[in-house]
Amino acid sequence: MGAPTLRSLARTLGISRTTISEALRHSPRVHPETAEKIRAAAEAAGYHRNPLAGAIMSELRRSRGDIFRGVLAVITLDEPDRPAYAKSFHAALFQGVHDRAVELGFRTERFEAGGRTLSLARLNRILQSRGIRGVVLLPAWRSPDLLQLDWKNYSGVYLDYHIDRPVLHCVCSDHFQSMMNALQRLRELGYRRPGVVLPRQHDERLSHRWEGAFLGFQQHYGSSDPVPPYVTDAPEQRGFTRWFREQQPDVVLSHLVHVMDWMRAAGAELPRTHGFFCLNLVHATEPCAGLDLTPRLIGAKGAELLIAQLYRNERGSPSHRSLTTLASTWVDGPTVRPQTPRRAKSAV
């Protein structure tokens, strides 16, 4: 006997295929007792609904026959305390997801959820009603919690390091190796006392991978008198200036580009007396050396991973999560000593 289908379920139950289809996608138009009877029969028969098929038919009815394979929801959590500079990184991630999704025949819809405007419960109803089964979550500033979504209906991917509620596959930058390689390159340029400035929340959110790589490099390759990291809840100019003058780093690494202004105010001349290296160039407001964390590529890889799950009909939390990390790229700039031409730009 072949695999059960909507047609065979309809014949067995004496119910129309349309009603069975709506019940399996939790449509409110089906009486709850009837819907429960249908879902129980489908489970007993071993029927597994293909979420892409339902999404395709739903979208085809709306688009009157346009070529279409599905919709991906790209979700940003409503977090008032997330730094404003994170918006540019989110925008680049979304563009990467969108562009790759379009290439693969999918569309994207972006949602900001978790706040007063759009609760997760309401978002869940919207995704169900629109037949959206693929969810991309952009990086959250706090530990993300999306358990209010009915994950038995969704495939998901998180574009950051780690998520537990629910467990999802993750795609992000290789922060640890990127820091190690950047420090090695700076050492080759003659810098011997690197210092790093990190917001504590940023460091903790990535399980201290930036700071851990910095300390590891210092222990194995640094000087006998290494510069301690400047990690604080909210880096501010007075505390930075005290650290800068006491520790005397010859190059400072940070995501915070206004650190360059603090360095200049403390007497530094970039790059003559000191260097500055940005750990995420998407935040840069003036030309500087730093890392391109390739957010568009991260978004594209996330879209590919999610679409592969949809095609395999894999929903909910995976039994074994995966972490895909992408190398960052060193980009020369006027805030460090000049590179030789052959090393002007390469993956780190």
- Apex CA 116: angle with CA 107 and CA 82, to 5°? 75
Tell me the average pLDDT across 12-37: 80
| Rounded distance between C-alpha atoms, residue 301 and residue 170, angstroms | 10
Residues forming a β-bridge with 112: 76
> Please, what is the average pLDDT of the chain?
89
Residue (of 298, 294, 282) closest to 100 by Cα position: 298
Q: Which of 40-49, 78-87, 163-172 has the lowest mean pLDDT?
A: 40-49
- CA dist 92 → 98, 106, 132 (Å): 10, 18, 22
* pLDDT exceeds cutoff 80 at 26: no
* Residue 23 predicted with pLDDT over 50: yes
Helix residue ranges, H only, 104-174: 120-129
Both tokens assigned to 221: 């390759």
Kindly report the CATH class assigned to 175-292+330-347.
Answer: alpha beta
Cα distances from 39 to residues 20, 28, 312, in angstroms, run: 8, 14, 21
pLDDT tens figures, 78-114: 998 888 878 899 999 999 999 999 999 999 999 999 9
| pLDDT tens figures, 105-139 | 999 999 999 988 899 999 999 999 999 999 999 99
Omega cis (within 30) before 271? yes
Find the mean pLDDT for residues 276-298: 96
What pLDDT is recorded for position 50? 63
- Assess if CATH 3.40.50.720 describes domain 70-173+296-327: no
Residue 280 region by backbone torsions, left for phi larger than 0, else alpha for psi between -120 and 50, else beta? beta
For 268, the token pair is 């530094």
Partnered with residue 252 across adjacent β-strands are: 195, 276
**Domain residue limits, the chain:** 70-173+296-327, 175-292+330-347
- Is this prediction's pTM over 0.75? yes
Whole-number percent of the chain with pLDDT over 70:
91
At residue 65, the pLDDT reads 43
pLDDT score, position 64: 47
